[in-house]
Structure 1
Amino acid sequence: MGSRQLHFAVFGPCGFEADTLVEISGSGNSGKSLVLQQLVAHCLAPYKFGGRQWSVVLINLSHKISRESLAKSIKMELKAYSVGEEVAEKCPTEEQLAEIAAECVSRVRFLNCFSNDDVSTSLIDARYAIINDPAIQLVAMDTLSEFYWLDELKITKRMSMYRHYRLLQARLEKLCKDAIVCGIYTVESAFLENRFGDNLPEASIKYHVRMQKIQSQILLNGLPLSFSNGVHLDASTK
C-alpha cells in the first residue's frame, strides 16, 4: 500500500475536506507516526504524481518524523505512482525523484517542540504561518500527548490525561476551523479514556484512525496494514 492508497482507504475518493480533523490513535509502537508521515507525504506529492501538492505545518512533538524520513516516504511514493500508472519508460531518474522529494519537503514548516510551552507557541506560530502562506492546507501534530508527564504544574494540579488531550485537541480544532485548513494528529490511546468524568465539549472529528499492533501485525481500523512502496516500520517511524 502506497500513500495514495492509504489516503483513499482512510478518506475515500474525495479525500480531506476543509477544516476537518483527523485522529490517529493507538498504543505505543502501533505505527501512528508512520501512518501520519505517509498521509503527509501524499498531501505534499505533486498533482502529476497523484498527490495534492499542499504545503504543510508539522508540529513535531515526538521527533520521529524528520526531513530525511519524510523525503524518503515522498520519493518512494513518487516511484510507486509512476510504476503503478504503467509509465515506467517515463519514470524520473533517481536524481530527479530526489529533487522532487526535496522540493516537497521544502513546503513543510517544521515546528519542533520540547515542552508544552513549545506546543502552545507552535499553535500560535502555525496560525501566522498560514496567514503568510495561503498554500498551507494541513496542520499535522505528532504526538499530541507527548509532554503530559513532563509538565509538573499540570500533574500537581491533577490534570487528567483525558483533559490534557482534549484541551490541546480543542486548540488544534479551533486553529483549523478559523484558518479553514485540515488538521491531523496522533495520540496515545490511553489519553482517550475519560476515567474521571471530565465534562468537556466534544470535538468534531470527521475521521478516526485506530492503530493496533498484535504480535508483529499492524492493523488500521481492524484491517492488516502493509506498505508496498518500500517504507517499513522501524524505530524512527513507529
Structure 2
Amino acid sequence: MESRQLHSAVFGVCGFEDETLVEISGPGNSGKSLVLQQLMAHCLAPYEFGGRQWSVLLINLSHKITRESLTKCINTELQAFSEGVEGGESPPEEELVEIAGECVGRVRFLNCFSTEDVSTALIDARYAIVNDPGVQLVALDTLGEFYWLDFPKRTQKLSMFRHYRQWQTRLERLCKEAIVCGMYTVDSAHLENRYVHGEQLPGVKINYTVRMEKIGGCLTLNGLPLAFGNGGAKLVNK
C-alpha cells in the first residue's frame, strides 16, 4: 500500500479539506516523520499520478526530512502509481526522476534551529502563502522539538502539554487565516496533561488524528499494522 492508499486510509476517499488540521503523534522513533513525508509525497505528486499537485511549506524542526529523502519518496510514489495502471506504460526512470525533482521544487523548506526560528517561520509562512497561491499545505516536523532546549532559560516553567498547545494554536491560526491545511508531528509525551491548575487553554480542533504506537515490538498506525521500507511507510495487509 503506497502513499495514496495510506492517504485514503487516513483521510478517506475525498482527502482532507482546506483549514483542517492533521496531528501525527507517537513515541520517539516510531516513524512519525516518515509518515509525514509519505503524506506530503502524495500531496505533491501530479494529478496524472494520482496526487494533488499542491505546493507545500515545511517548517522543519527535526531535519529528518530532506530534499533528497523527499525526492526519493516521491519517485517511489510515481513508480508505484505507474506500475498499478492497467494497460499503462511506465515512463522512463529519467522522466520520473525529473518529475520528482519538479515536485520537490514546489516545497519551501523553513529550517529551524531554535524557538525563535519557529516563530519567524510561522510569520514567513504567511507571506509565502500570499506570494504563492499554490500552497495548500503547511507541514511542521516536529512540534515541541525545542521544549527541553529552552527549559533552563524560561522564567515561566511551562508544562510539555501547555507548550504543545501553544504551538498547536499558532499553527491552527495560520492555517485558518491563510485557508490552507496544516499537518504536524508531535511526540505523544506532549499530549499528556498531567498538571492542571485551573488554567484555561485555547480550544483547538484536530480534524484528523494519526496515532502511531509500538505494540509488542510492532508498529501500528491507528491500530493498523505499519511497516517501513525503501524510505517509505505502508500499511500491512494481514
Shorter-normalised TM-score: what interval? over 0.9
3-state SS in 2 of match to 1:140: strand
> Which blocks of at least 5 consecutive residues in structure 2 are unaligned?
234-238
1:151 is displaced (CA, Å) by: 0.9
Q: Find runs of 4+ consecutive structure 1 residues off by over 3 angstroms.
A: 152-156, 230-233
Structure 1 residue 215, shift from structure 2 partner: 4.8
Q: Which runs of 5+ in 1 are unaligned?
A: 234-238
Say which SS state the counterpart of residue 16 (structure 1) adopts. Answer: coil
> In 2, Cα distance between the equivalents of 1:225 and 1:127?
35
Distance (Å, rounded) in 1 between the aligned partners of 2:51 and 2:227:
20
SS of structure 1 residue aligned to 2:227: coil
> Partner amino acid for 1:25?
S
Report the secondary structure of 1:17's partner residue: coil
Residue in 1 that maps onto 2:173: 174
Normalised to the residue count of structure 2, the TM-score between the two structures is 0.93
Query: Given the superposition, is the C-alpha separation of residues 232 and 22 from structure 1 closer, same or farther in structure 2, using an over 3 Å criterion?
Result: closer
Q: CA RMSD in A?
A: 1.5
Structural mapping, 1:137-176, within 5 Å: 137-152=136-151, 155-176=154-175
Q: What's the CA shift string for 1:111-134, capped at 9, x where partnerless?
A: 000000000000001110000000
Residue matched to 1:236: none
- Secondary structure of residue in 2 paired with 1:143: strand
The residue identity in structure 1 corresponding to 2:4 is R
1:231 alignment partner in structure 2? 231
1: CA distance between counterparts of 2:136 and 2:85?
A: 26
The offset of 1:222, in angstroms, is 1.0
1:137-172 deviations in Å (ceiling 9; x for gaps): 000000011000111466442111011100000000
> In the comparison of the two structures, how many residue pairs are matched?
231
Structure 2 contact 140–183 (Cα < 8 Å) conserved: yes
Whether the aligned pair in 2 keeps the contact of 1:149 and 1:155 (CA below 8 Å) is no
More strand by share: 2
Give me the whole-angstrom Cα distance separating, in 1, the residues matched to 2:124 and 2:5.
32
CA deviation vs aligned residue, 1:21-59 (integer Å, no higher than 9, x gap): 000000001110010000000000000000000000000
Q: CA deviation at 1:226?
A: 2.9
Cα shift at 1:86: 2.4
Identity value in percent = 69
What corresponds to 1:187 in structure 2? 186
Check conservation: 2:83, 2:90, Cα contact below 8 A. Answer: yes
**TM-score of the superposition, structure 1-length normalised?**
0.93
